[in-house]
Every structure is written in C-alpha cells, then in structure tokens.
Structure 1
Amino acid sequence: MKKFVSLLLTGLLIFVLAACTANQETTKEPQPKNNDEGTKEEDVESEKILYLNNGLEPTSFDPPIGFDAVSWSGLNNLMEGLTRLGADHEPEAATAEKWDVSADGKVYTFHIRENAKWSNGDDVTAGDFVFAWKRLLDPETGSPASFLGYFIEGAEAFNNGEGSADDVKVKAVDEKTFEVTLTSPQAYFLSVITNPAFFPINEKVATENPQWFAEAESFVGNGPFNLAEWEHDSHFLMEKNDQYWDAGTVKLDKVHWAIIDDTNTEYQMYQTGSLDVSDVPADLSEQLFSEGKAEVGDQAGDYFYRFNLTMEPFQNLNIRKAFAMAVDQQQMVDFVTKNKEKPAYGFVAYGFNDPQGNDFRETNGDLLKTDPEEAKALLAKGMEEEGYETLPEVTLTYSTSDTHKKIAEALQQMFKDNLGVEVKLANMEWNVFAEEQTALKFQLSRSSFLADYADPINFLENFQTGLSMNRTGWSNAEYDQLIKDAKNEADEEKRYEMMYKAEKILFEEMPIIPIHFYNQVYLQNEAVTGIVRHPVGYLELKWADKN
C-alpha cells in the first residue's frame, strides 16, 4: 500500500458536517460523579478523563451505517477490525494476530486472537466477521459503504440483488480462522478493512436485539473502550474496556465527548478547561497561528459542492462549468475559512505517490480554474442551448453550521459578482440534509469526503453510476469502466494511468465544484499526549494519555 508521504497529520478533524443545536447542558464542564458503591470524590478526580467534542450527534454506531466523520472516531475506539491503523497510519495486526496470503494474492486467511473478546465477555469469532461482512453487503441493510466490499468475490452481485449471500466468498474455517477470497489482488486491501464498515458484529447479540447499537446499555463492542453512557444530542461517554485484548496499552480511564456544533462555543469551553481539544475559529485563526498555539497538517479529503444533473439548470454541462469557474477557491481559503487549507482544483488530495514517486495531485495538475469572463460566456452558451431567456431559480443548500454558512454566503456572493446570478440559500439539520441529498432533492449542495483508505481510487470510485456516494445523478460509462479496470489492475503504473484519466473525465463533465482540501487544525491541552489523528479521519485514543 502506498504510504501517505506528505500526510504527517497532527490535527483534530474539523467536523465540517454540521447539525443539531448544542444542548445547553453540554456547554457546562462535565463533573465527576460518585458511583453507587460510594467512590470517594478524590478517587474519581484521579481518573484520567479526556474531554473531547464530537461536533454533532453520531449518525449511528452500527458499523455499516455510521459511514461518516461524525461516527467514525467513536466507532474506531469502541470497536476494531481484523487490522487497525497504527501510529504510522499503516495497517497492523489487530483482532487478527496474523494472516496468510495465497500465491495469487487473492485468498487471505486471518487468524483471530484467542484472547479477542467482546465487551460482554463473548469470544470474537470468525462467524462474527462472516455475519458482519455479509450484512454490510446485504442490499436490505442499505449501507452507504457497501461498495467498499466489492473486491470480495460475489459481493457486488449480492449487493446489486443479482446474487445471494451464499455466493459471497467469506467463510469461517473454524471459530478463530476467517477466510476471504478477492476478485483480484488488491494492494490496499489490508488498509480498506481497517474502515469501521468492516468491523465485526456479535452475531448472537445482534440476533437477539437488532437495535443493539442504538443505546449505551445494549452496545457491545470489541475495541479499546466501551460505550458507558449516551445522552443523545448532548454527549456520550466511553470507559476503558477491560475485555480488550490489548487493554494494558490503554492509559485513559474515560473519554467524555460533548456534542457542540459551534466552533466559537467549543473554543470557549477549551479556554475554560471544559475541553482538552478545540478547533480553531476562523476569526481567531490568524492570532492563534501567530502565537504558535494552533497546529495544522494536511488531511486526505475534500470540501466540495455537488450539482444535481437531474434538476434544471444543471443538466447542462456549460452551465455547470460556468458556476464552477465562477468560484475563487484561493479567496475562499484566504478570507473565509482562514485555516491554511489548500485550494482544490482537482478531487484527489495531495499525499498519494505513483510508482515513479510523483504526487498524484501535482502530476494530474489543476483541472479547474477561476475565470469569471469565461464563466459568463459559458453561462450564456448554456442558456442558449436550453432555450432559457431567464435562468431557472437556483437554491444552494447546506447543513447547518457556522462554517458551512460562511462558505455558502461567500459562494452566493461569487455567483452574483462573477455571473450576475442571484442564488438563494437554504440550510437544514444534518440527518435530514443527508437523506435529502442522497435522494437528489437539492439543485446544488455542500458535501465533504474523507478518504476511507489510503489510495486515490477511493476518491474516484465515489462517482460511479448509481453509487449512494455519487449523489449527483451523473453517469459516464467510460469513467465507470476505468474505475472498474483500475480496481482490478495489478500493474501499478497502468493503474495510476487509468486513475489520472478518470479524474480528467470527472472534471470535463463537472458534476462537482471542489472548494478546498481538508487539513486538521487544533488546539490541545499540553497535558494530553498520544492522540493519533489518521489521514482518513479517525481519531485514535488507544495510545492517548493525560497527565
């Protein structure tokens, strides 16, 4: 697997998805509580408790459903797959202590640790992985992450309703031996399965209670921490999992996650000691950077906008290009977000090297430019093609947050200044927004992508025809074939050439407007050490400590 050469990340994920208004109680500093056995207050205060903010309510702690930034950090610390990203962001042995690979690179046999346990004391078995992976692929589950499993033989046909679960080549050789057969050798396979979508599920627990993941009282995990408390839209609490196979490594006793969707409120809580980590408000970024208090690093992901090609006027290519070229990404990062992000003129982020050692983004270059004059000409051309005397009304929709609002307002002004188009703004709560966007209910809407694993194909596969991650209504047969061929190509040089070509087709068709590549900017209590912030957006607390 290609390493993230340039992604030496040291920042907390800015959760740029947004939603629920913070519960008033979450603005107060969490207080230690005496337990039923009468634990002394000084004993409680001696516990190592890390105070973090999740940004908003997790979508779900059901592994194949919580496929987003607001669920990943929680899931990554409550559960664990066969492999886990290490401190160097590379996959390492986790629930599986070792594995064997067939000579043709297609069959992996994983040996699960004898001491791998669920938080309720049950053994983690190969059957739990078979159950979980087939459930991920089951079309009735409706997982947005199901496409990640298409490298498994029989997986795509099952997920598309053309095959059965029995055809999916995953099996339990015995209680502690799990075997999977791939459609072709995959250089990044061990990295992909670190994604929470591939976590096991306790089959016995899930069969008895299909909603096992919905509340702390019923949650059963196999990771470094347990879900001890979950007051929805307020906070959730994790406690060290003594059943975890590597519990001796875990130093924290508890992790308290607030749910605050306002950066300024989060910063105020950090200032008063109610949080150990904070994002950096845009209005204070220049000061905090100059004082050396803010840390920043690249991240594998994009902030972007999606056109809906099934709604007027964005069925027209030239109108889409006009809106895209009216956006000034450099001004956006310099004067709106102000957190030292890199402007995005392509979709694949920096930090992926091809076989020649060249960065993908630098090699494929800028595929979009800011050009108001050409944008106006393209708009006029597109309107003529459609027979528009007046452009149909355009509404830009975003999920509620202070950051999204600022970016939306800046875009609104750019469209007015550079195109002479008045665009309306609309916002809504995150969960409703996500459902409506997937259902293609918006004309133009904000979005974000964080890499699920460390390879450019993960960025590009999102826009295949019909995938739930596409959310644009765009379809291109040549693009689909390039992605399919690249995912089955063992020759790395050929594979990268296919991906370079695919990204160029994406921007020739322009179903999206990239804004900036994510970075990670944060403030952190000096007493806190060992937090690992993975490029793919998971916050790793297994090695964290607080003195």
Structure 2
Amino acid sequence: MKKLTILLAAVMLVLSLAACTANKDAGSEPKDDGKGKKEEKKTEKVLYLNNGQEPTSLDPPIGFDAVSWNALNNIMEGLTRLDENHQPQAAIAEKWDLSEDGKTYTFHLRENAKWSNGDDVTADDFVYAWKRLLDPNTGSSAAFLGYFIQGGEEYNNGKGSADDVKVKAVDKKTFEVTLVSPQAYFLSVIANPCFFPINEGVAKENPKWFNEASTYVSNGPFKLSEWNHDSDFTMVKNDQYWDVNNVKLDKVHWAMVDDANTEYQMYTTGELDTSDVPSELADKLFKEGDVKVEDQAGLYFYRFNVTKEPFQNENIRKAFALAIDQKQMVELVTKNQEKPAYGFVSYGFKDPEGNDFREHSGDLIKTDVPKAKELLKKGMEEEDYKKLPEVTLTYNTLDTHKKIAEALQQMFKENLGVDVKLANMESSVFATDQKALKFQFSRSSFLADYADPINFLENFITGSPMNRTGWSNAEFDKMIKEAKHEKDEKKRYEMMYKAEKILLDAAPIVPIHFYNQVYLQNKDVSGIVRHPVGYLELKWADKK
C-alpha cells in the first residue's frame, strides 16, 4: 500500500508539471490512437563505440590517420562515398561527366546538399578545400594524394601557385577538376576524408572551427554535438543531411580507451557495442564463435631511420629485418589470425591477369636468422664498428604496440645478440617526431587510402611526408611516377612489382603483419560497414 501511495504521488507530480510546461521527453510519450491503444514510446537509438584515442584532428586534410578517420567519415562527406561493397557511389555529387580524354571530371552537386548550419554546400567549398589540402602552408600529410590534379604537385612543392591547380567552380553547384592523366581509381580516392569539402565562409571567419563541437560545421550523416578532449565525443544525426531519411541512428557516443582489456570489459558490461579481441582471450573467444573477421588493406610495420646510426647501413637494416619472425608474432603475440607480412602491399589486389599482387610479388623479406647474423657482421665491418651503436625502438603508447615491441626486443637478443632499448610516447607527439626523423627505429602502420597497390608504394618516394625513413632512391621514384601515368594496366603492374622489390631490397622498413578487422559486436547492432581502406561507415548502421 505504501508503494502504491508513492507511485500515485509521482504520477500526480508529473501531471502537474506537464500542465505548466512540456517535459524533456515530449513527443516520445506513448500516444492514444483513439481506440484505447497506445503507440509504443520511441526509443532513442544510441550506438556506443571506442575510438581508442583522441582524434589527431578533425580538420579533414590534417586528420589523416585511423584515430581521426572514423569520426571524419561520418560527420563529413565528399563528392563520392564508399558503399556497402566498398565501391564509390554518388554522395554530395549526384552525378558527373567525364571528358573524352578521361582527364576532366565535371561534378554536379545535389541541390539539397547542406551544411549542418543550413548553408548550401557549394562548388566553391570544394575548390577551397582541395587547394587548402595542397597548400604547402597547410602541412597536410595527405597532400600527395592530390598530385593527380593538374598543378597540384607543383603548388604543394612550392614550384607553382594555387591558381595553377586545375579545380574550379563552374557555377554554385558545378565543380570541375582536370587530372594529369586518366586515373582508374580516381572516384575511390576522392572518397577519402582529406578530399571532404570545407565551409569556406565558416573557415575564414574562424580558422580553428574544427577544434570544438560548438564551432564544428559538417555535411555528413552526423554532426558533432559534444567533444570532451581526451575523454569522449558524441555525434548526433544531422537533420540537414541530404539523405537523412536513410540514417537510422540518433546518436553515436565514442569513448577513448587505449587498453584492449578495458575495452573488452566495457563491451561485456554493455558500455560498448563493439570491441577488439584482446590477445590473451583470442583463443577462447574464437572457439566460442562470436568473433567476426573482415579484410583490411594495410599492415603493421617498423621504420628504420637511414639518417641515424647504425641504420645508414643497408646490411645492418636487413640483419634486423631477417631476425624478426613474423609467423611467431601473429601466432603467439597478436593472436588475431593476421597474415604475416613478407612484403609491403597487402593481399586482395588483382593484376590484369588475375594474379593477387602479394602472391605474385612473393616473399621479399622473410625470417632467416643465419643470414641475419652474417649481414650484421658484414655491416659492422663496413662501418668499422667494434660494437654496434646503441639502438632504441620507439612505439606510441598502446598495450598491443608494447607487446609487439617487447617480442621484437627478445628476437633481436636471441637471434642477433643485440640489446635493444624500448621507449614509448603519446601518439600526437610520436607522429610529429617520427615525421621529423627523430627516431632510430620506430613502430608504424599503414591503412590504404584507396584500393590500389600504388597507394602503398607511393609512400616511399623521396620527400613524401609519409616516407619518414630518410630513404631515397631515384629508380624507385621514377618507377612510381611512370606507374601513376601509365594507361596500360599490365605495364603499370609490372612497374609496381619492380618498385616493391627495390623498396624491400633496400629495407628502410620491415613489415610485421597485414591487418584484418577482428571484432566482437552486439547482436542488436547491424549495418556497420568496415571498409578495407580503413574507416568505419555508420550511415546505414542500426540498433534494435
């Protein structure tokens, strides 16, 4: 009786408050249909995910990494968007025309394409964004992707001007771009976040518009509603998005937890809807059958700095590379059914004759301990080393990176008799210092920006901001440049096969394993698309 009295009092209080003002759930209360039945209360659909770490930046040309892409790909949208089958489809551009020579694309933007603040998305927004990507003052690591635009490379290298970049607004909703040569993968490339438009008016009024949720202006399926730096961020459905009716989720909350075991515990308690698989639990979880595995185009690898001792010596680099047992690494350390990497280009790319690039190119750098010892001795003699200079292996802070670094440390001790020191660093500082060639030997990763082997190899051309090794080879540079302009696909693949061999023969890098996407997911969640090129697609995601 006491409980009933309390319940009645609570009901009366709610009714009296409703007489004065609508409560926060107005519109989602059950409604009477006039036949004595009540509609079900509409439940907000909220997806809970983990971003791992703070995004490097949500400025499209700067956030060129895994911890920024997932957010960017869902709050912004380019001319094209990858679909459920990972193929480029019409997005902000509803259609396009291609010139007879295959070099000039004319994109027709949707009339109802809007920014989250209600502004029209215009051709000028794309002109502004793409020139900013290529502007050397922007300092974008992704700028090289724009070199297929006429005048793009010259502008980025300081040998040309913004006016020479062949992008233009024909009118408010028509955007034209002219390429240096026909590119079979062009429509895939421009789905990458670095090619997203930027609201020119907003950016000019506030150059730091991308730093906070309160000033962020987006044009994708979601918009940023809250951003607690180094803690979490939230995105909500963007009511201005041209295809809002096909967006099912109301909200996505992203945690920032960089420990796999903590992430898994949050998943088991329902705080997260997805989780990676901790290596210690991999065997058990795979046996239980709940683990999902999907392809991913990319790999985990290490970079040697060829400008620092002792890795200026090719034989010493090769000795360290051949002392690593990639098979042991994936079976005993990472345990997520990854494939060991003995080359740089991942599996999944077919040449014109139907050969898989990786299988055809073969194992270019594979475990060989006797050879490693022989090369170390040879390299030390070449450098007149009585004792090998001290070597420090640096990795960015994450439990998985630590485990791999410790396994490498043990392999170098057992297989080469070399003591290697370990050092870890926060991701934001690590990336900056790696680009500045401050490390001797450092952890790295690559996720394909678009689906073509050239994207893997072009990272290591001389001066590329993605090179980060100090390595340079004129023959390699020439091969990549020619491949990017070659129309004959058979010839183009032959050039890429030769280029990869040049790269691995010189060993400025050592591959560890190819990525896959191994995860656990709430059975009530559907429609998340995990693109092999490295970003998550939530436009079609749903939750019961």
TM-score by length of 1: 0.93
Matches within 5 A, 1:2-41: 38-40=23-25
1:66 pairs with 2:41: no
Once the two structures are superposed, what CA deviation does each residue of 1:131-161 show, in whole Å capped at 9, x if it has no partner? 0000000000000000000000000000000
**Partner of residue 158, structure 1:** 155
Letter in 1 for 2:321: A
Once the two structures are superposed, what CA deviation does each residue of 1:233-279 show, in whole Å capped at 9, x if it has no partner? 11000000010000000000000000100000000000000000001
**Partner of residue 514, structure 1:** 511
1:137 pairs with 2:134: yes
Structure 1 vs Structure 2 CA RMSD = 1.1
1:293 pairs with 2:283: no
Instruction: Give the Cα–Cα distance (whole angstroms) in 2 for the partners of residues 516 and 127 of structure 1.
Output: 42
Instruction: Give the Cα–Cα distance (whole angstroms) in 2 for the partners of residues 40 and 139 of structure 1.
Output: 50
Structure 1: 5+ residue stretches without partners: 1-35
Once the two structures are superposed, what CA deviation does each residue of 1:474-507 show, in whole Å capped at 9, x if it has no partner? 0000000100000001110000000000000001
Which stretch of structure 1 is more off in the superposition, 41-50 or 242-251? Answer: 41-50
**Partner of residue 282, structure 1:** 279
Match of residue 484, structure 2, among 483, 487, 502: 487
Instruction: Give the Cα–Cα distance (whole angstroms) in 1 for the partners of residues 311 and 76 of structure 2.
Output: 42
Instruction: Give the Cα–Cα distance (whole angstroms) in 2 for the partners of residues 336 and 118 of structure 1.
Output: 45
Letter in 1 for 2:276: D
DSSP 3-state at the match of 1:213: helix
Once the two structures are superposed, what CA deviation does each residue of 1:496-527 show, in whole Å capped at 9, x if it has no partner? 00000000000110000100000000000000
Structure 2: 5+ residue stretches without partners: 1-20, 30-40
TM-score by length of 2: 0.93
Match of residue 438, structure 1, among 430, 435, 440: 435
**Partner of residue 345, structure 1:** 342
Shift of 1:287: 0.3
Matches within 5 A, 1:321-360: 321-360=318-357
Letter in 1 for 2:448: A
Matches within 5 A, 1:308-387: 308-387=305-384
Matches within 5 A, 1:184-195: 184-195=181-192
Shift of 1:297: 2.1
Letter in 1 for 2:82: L
**Partner of residue 193, structure 2:** 196
Match of residue 173, structure 1, among 170, 174, 193: 170
Evaluate the alpha carbon distance shift between residue 372 and residue 213 of structure 1 in structure 2; reply closer, same or farther with a 3 A threshold: same
Instruction: Give the Cα–Cα distance (whole angstroms) in 1 for the partners of residues 143 and 25 of structure 2.
Output: 48
Once the two structures are superposed, what CA deviation does each residue of 1:93-123 show, in whole Å capped at 9, x if it has no partner? 0000000000000000000000000000000
Letter in 1 for 2:481: K
Shift of 1:45: 8.4
Once the two structures are superposed, what CA deviation does each residue of 1:366-398 show, in whole Å capped at 9, x if it has no partner? 001111111001000000000000000000000
Once the two structures are superposed, what CA deviation does each residue of 1:401-448 show, in whole Å capped at 9, x if it has no partner? 110000000000000000000000000100011111000000000000
1:230 pairs with 2:230: no
Shift of 1:298: 2.2
Shift of 1:323: 0.2
**Partner of residue 121, structure 1:** 118
Instruction: Give the Cα–Cα distance (whole angstroms) in 1 for the partners of residues 64 and 42 of structure 2.
Output: 35
**Partner of residue 8, structure 2:** none
Instruction: Give the Cα–Cα distance (whole angstroms) in 1 for the partners of residues 392 and 266 of structure 2.
Output: 35
**Partner of residue 398, structure 1:** 395
Instruction: Give the Cα–Cα distance (whole angstroms) in 2 for the partners of residues 66 and 297 of structure 1.
Output: 24
Instruction: Give the Cα–Cα distance (whole angstroms) in 1 for the partners of residues 251 and 23 of structure 2.
Output: 18
Matches within 5 A, 1:493-512: 493-512=490-509
The percentage of aligned residue pairs carrying the same residue is 75
Shift of 1:463: 0.3
**Partner of residue 214, structure 2:** 217
Letter in 2 for 1:88: N
Instruction: Give the Cα–Cα distance (whole angstroms) in 1 for the partners of residues 380 and 348 of structure 2.
Output: 39
Shift of 1:40: 3.3
**Partner of residue 25, structure 1:** none
Matches within 5 A, 1:398-417: 398-417=395-414
Shift of 1:79: 0.3
Once the two structures are superposed, what CA deviation does each residue of 1:169-192 show, in whole Å capped at 9, x if it has no partner? 000000000000000000000000
Q: Computing the radius of gyration over CA atoms, which structure comes out larger, 1 or 2? A: 2
Q: How many residues align?
A: 512
Letter in 2 for 1:403: T
DSSP 3-state at the match of 2:318: helix
DSSP 3-state at the match of 1:80: coil
Shift of 1:37: 6.7
Instruction: Give the Cα–Cα distance (whole angstroms) in 1 for the partners of residues 294 and 509 of structure 2.
Output: 25
Once the two structures are superposed, what CA deviation does each residue of 1:81-102 show, in whole Å capped at 9, x if it has no partner? 0000001100000000000000
1:50 pairs with 2:35: no
Letter in 2 for 1:39: K
**Partner of residue 250, structure 2:** 253
